[in-house]
A and B are shown apart, each in its own frame.
Chain A
Amino acid sequence: MKKLFALVLSLALMLSLFGMAASAEGFSGDVKIWVADNMVELTRAKAEEFKAAHPEYANMNVLIEAVGEGDSATNMITDVEGGADIFGFAQDQLARLVAAGALVELSPENAEIVKAENDGGSVAAVTLGDVLYAYPMTSDNGYFLNYDKSVITDPSTLEGVLDQAHAAGKKVYFQINNGWYQTAFFFGTGATVTYDVDNAGNLVKANINYASPEGVAALKGMINLAKHPAFVNGSDAPSASNYAAIVVGTWNRETIAAEFGENYAATKLPTFTVDGVTYQLSGFGGFKMLGVKPQVDDAKLAAVDALALYLAGEEVQQARYEQSGWGPSNLKVQQSEAVKADFVLSALAEQLNFALGQGQYPNDYWSTAQGLGDDVIAGKFNDYTDEQLMEELVKFQDILISLANPQ
């Protein structure tokens, strides 16, 4: 039995070695692509168009699987060899993927094209150190205020939005126990957290000033929000109920449009006031991107590079916007009439003026931030003095600093 096992294993190893040898011109093997569920059909159609336009890849077998941007990074890291050759993911996963050896850097030619065709924020988002690791696909991973204009007539202040919703017996959704939405408060008051990343995806240094008067003001803003009877912690429109306003990105626009109907409106996030000072809510501006897995075969790498460049290019970004309203990162698509006239994307663009481009964060940042948010919602800090709040923020800051590993 053991002998048989060993024999099978060694045979498999030899087969995989032979499998690596392939033809130099063109490519005709399998290429696996992971995209979000609602992009599977579109990607399949576009991949066929690509094959039609490039005869040398006509025999390439493109397999498209539905793996959401949220899961793909974890799946890739768990099993790089079994993972997709091209996969979509959100930019917060970039450093993690690079550190795990699941991304190959862009070829110099493709890097030039990407830099020339996409907006600056999205290019910065795919760059670690000075190396480009992925193809920007969207420039819409931000959040803004979606509201019912029949209930909320003045969406300019957070307090106003909450009171107007409460007066109508409705709720306001804002997921403050999430490191992504939480930054709206901290960045709004001027507290920031970023990490320096080296070319290999290691987070080498934390730049953070949460333990500051600004941080305390932000935390108090969150506590005030959590105390309000109209507040509900959450950002998932499909599972929300009875809401008049929800802070979320473009991906829930269809659900929200169905809920609000004619009265659907969107605008930048409101302001909030702490101790007489008014701050504009800020937050992360984010991007979705396509990554390419390291390849052991030059011919396949060339094919996958070309396909990824195409799938992240102008034509497919336009198609994505038309089908599902994904905000483009491509400069030409951004200038198209349809995109400019879209009130949801306009609201996003307006909010992005106040937002910071999202860099790389360690995995534990998100759980630590959730811990802080959960503590706020649980009312742990409700009776705290400023000094006590500062102590909590020092603790929070120390954890975030400890997450960086100086090399």
Chain B
Amino acid sequence: MADLHYLSLSKGQRFLHRLSRSIRQLPGRLAQGVKSLALAVARIFVGIGRDLADLATTFLQGDWKTKTSYFIMGFGSIARGQVLRGLLFFLFQVVFLLYMLFFGGAYLAKWGTLGDVETTRVGRRTVYGDNSFLILLYGVLTLFFVLAFLYTWRANVKQNKIAEQILKSGKKLKSGKQDVAALADNQFHKTLLALPTMGIFLFTVVPIVFMILVAFTNYDYTHQPPGKLFTWVGLDNFRTMLSAGSANYGSTFSQVLLWTLIWAFFATFLNYFLGMLVAIMINKKGIRLKKMWRTILVMTIAIPQFVSLLYVSKMFAADGIINSYLMQWGWISKPLPFWQDPIWARVTIIVINIWIGIPYMMLIATGILMNIPADLYESARIDGANAVQMYGKITLPYMLFVTGPYLLTSFIGNINNFNVIFLLSGGGPMSMELGGNAGYTDLLITWLYKMTVNNTDYKMAAVIGIIVFVVTAVINVVVYNAIPSVKNEEDFQ
């Protein structure tokens, strides 16, 4: 498409064009990603090779202090007068060895099988065997510890090499006092970031790695520690999730994924446009009691969502207030199947979500609408534009430009919108067509919840968790590259 042709399109068409281009480019990008990944891996190997060579030459060319440091960490530093550094290195080595000897080593040794000693009964007393859960968890921790040790050991060797060079050039080494002072000066970033990094590592990285690993085990209620062992099963769980057949979840999964995307689409864009519409209506000159209308709408935010959602869910139940009144007035003879029929349930959920979502969007839109320069509208009016044209040419492009990232995050948020689905329908109605306890309104995230809490099926839940990540990551990358706020008109080439 030529530049001129592109520029002749309307804003909406331009966005669609960019979106389709971005999707069309996806295979190419993926290939490029794979290529650069391969390159990165190759670079890592080259780096490791170079590092090993450097280790060897440092050992061969180094003095005896350096050579001893290969086995006793920090020896060289202490021998050259950097006592504090040397002691810290040495202490780390001692703690690492003790940890491996008395704690981590045993867990790491069993990591390959996740334990092989079964729980037994001596008389009626229970003697617990290996605990696969702890082996997996502490194994992960120990692996990280080993990596940290290797890194520190490498740093220790490097220290010796640098110290030798500095001494050779006739300069003096830093004293312990200077090292400590540096932590408050040019090394201050390390002091500041030590605690947060540690926290993120322990409370975010380790659990994520652990959960990812669970997807490759058979951890479920028949393999529940401490009574039972679980072990590695490779990619079996992914096969069960994605392949068709009555024993597998393939058809259920595609059904749930499709509904998740449909739901996220409607929940995001219906709320977006209706919320904007309401904001425009309230903003219009001549509308009285603006504050009252806004207050009424914002009231829905003031009530905790789970209270209002549970209440609304009961209202629409077969024996709920809505069906009861409709029947009492004789409008219907049977309860409307709000939660019993798949299509009814899906539409009901989307409509109820509009009621919840409009106030938020209205608040956001109100602020942005007030920011649009009034002279734009004025000159448009002088040129003879009608309300629809002004909306299409001024309001919408402006809104899309400002709220592009918000739209994206709310789309991703809706893919993981647990509350609305779980509290309204609980994922139901269920059907024989669907496996794994899933229902017709289940999102991936509520399905994951049911797997974990109702079925104690951690392995499949972990698989869904990984898939949710992949889905949201792909959508993020594709859409982010297409929204006007990121790819501005001027950047287009």
Contact = CB atoms under 8 A, between A and B. Distances in A.
Contact of A104 (B124, B225, B228): B124
B455 to A, nearest CB: 6
B465 interface: no
A74 B453 contact: yes
B432 interface: yes
Nearest to B127: A296
Interface stretch (B28-36, B53-61, B335-343, B366-374): B335-343
A392 B432 CA distance: 9
Contacts of B224: 77, 80, 100-102
Contact of B221 (A99, A105, A171, A295): A99
Nearest to B345: A378
B469 interface: no
A77 B337 contact: no
B432 A2 contact: no
B430 A370 contact: yes
Contacts of A239: 314, 319
Interface string B174-196: 00000000000000000000000
B128 interface: yes
Contacts of A13: 103
B348 to A, nearest CB: 13
Interface in B124-168: 124-128, 138, 141, 144-145, 148
A190 B318 CA distance: 30
B430 A78 contact: no
The B contact surface, by secondary structure, is: loop
Contacts of B334: 229
A388 interface: no
Interface in A359-407: 363-364, 367-368, 370-372, 374-375, 377-379, 392, 395-396, 398-399, 402
Interface in A201-242: 202, 229, 232-234, 239-242
A77 B456 contact: yes
A372 B246 contact: no
B125 A101 contact: no
Contacts of A363: 221, 454-455
Contacts of A229: 333-334
A402 B246 contact: yes
The A contact surface, by secondary structure, is: helix
Nearest to A292: B124
A297 interface: yes
A6 B227 contact: no
A24 interface: no
Contacts of B319: 171, 173, 232, 234, 239-242
Interface in A265-318: 294-298, 301
Interface in B87-125: 95, 99, 102-104, 119, 123-125
B437 A367 contact: yes
B430 A371 contact: yes
Contacts of A240: 319
Interface string A66-101: 000000001001101100000000000000100111
A363 B224 CA distance: 15
Contacts, number: 136
A229 B432 CA distance: 25
A239 B313 CA distance: 12
Nearest to B202: A5
A285 B314 CA distance: 30
A378 B138 CA distance: 49
A14 to B, nearest CB: 10
Nearest to A402: B247
B295 interface: no
Contact of B342 (A10, A173, A378, A392): A378
B253 to A, nearest CB: 16
Contact of B337 (A9, A295, A378): A378
Interface string A1-34: 1110110011001000000000000000000000
A58 B44 CA distance: 67
Contacts of A153: none
A107 interface: yes
B222 interface: yes
Interface in A236-264: 239-242
A334 B104 CA distance: 57
A367 B334 CA distance: 25
Q: How large is the interface on B (under 10, 10 to 19, 20 to 34, 35 or more residues)?
A: 35 or more
A81 B144 CA distance: 27
Given A6-B104, A233-B340, A294 B227 contact: yes
A233 B318 contact: yes
Contacts of A364: 436-437, 455
A96 B455 CA distance: 10
Contacts of B99: 3, 6
Nearest to A202: B222
Contacts of A3: 95, 99
B227 A378 contact: no
Contact of B226 (A9, A101, A301, A377): A101
Contacts of A296: 125-128
B459 to A, nearest CB: 14
Contacts of B202: 1, 5
A81 B432 CA distance: 35
A163 B128 CA distance: 60
B324 A242 contact: yes
B485 interface: no
Contact of A100 (B104, B222, B341, B454): B222
Nearest to A302: B124
Contacts of A370: 428, 430
A1 B193 CA distance: 13
Given A6-B99, A378-B340, A371 B198 contact: no
Contacts of B222: 99-100, 202
B341 A378 contact: yes
A101 B228 contact: yes
Contacts of B141: 2, 5-6
Contact of A298 (B125, B228, B341, B432): B125
Interface string B415-434: 00000000000001111111
B178 to A, nearest CB: 24
Nearest to A293: B126
Given A2-B148, A240-B319, A371-B430, A10 B103 contact: yes
B339 to A, nearest CB: 9
Contact of B340 (A173, A377, A395): A377
A368 B435 CA distance: 8
A293 to B, nearest CB: 9
Nearest to A78: B456
A294 B228 CA distance: 12
Given A80-B226, A240-B319, A241-B319, A368 B314 contact: no
Interface in B397-453: 428-437, 439, 453
Given A77-B456, A241-B324, A298 B227 contact: no
A107 B318 CA distance: 49
B312 to A, nearest CB: 15
Interface of B: 95, 99, 102-104, 119, 123-128, 138, 141, 144-145, 148, 198, 202, 221-222, 224-228, 246-247, 314, 318-319, 324, 333-335, 337, 340-342, 428-437, 439, 453-456
18 contacts: A2-B148, A3-B99, A6-B141, A10-B102, A10-B103, A99-B221, A101-B119, A101-B227, A171-B319, A239-B314, A239-B319, A371-B430, A371-B431, A374-B431, A375-B431, A377-B318, A395-B432, A399-B435
Given A101-B226, A371-B430, A402-B246, 9 more contacts: A13-B103, A77-B224, A102-B224, A171-B319, A232-B335, A239-B319, A296-B128, A371-B432, A399-B432
Lowest 7 A-B CB distances belong to which pairs? A101-B227, A294-B126, A374-B429, A371-B430, A100-B224, A371-B432, A367-B437
Interface of A: 1-3, 5-6, 9-10, 13, 74, 77-78, 80-81, 96, 99-102, 104-105, 107, 171, 173, 177, 202, 229, 232-234, 239-242, 294-298, 301, 363-364, 367-368, 370-372, 374-375, 377-379, 392, 395-396, 398-399, 402
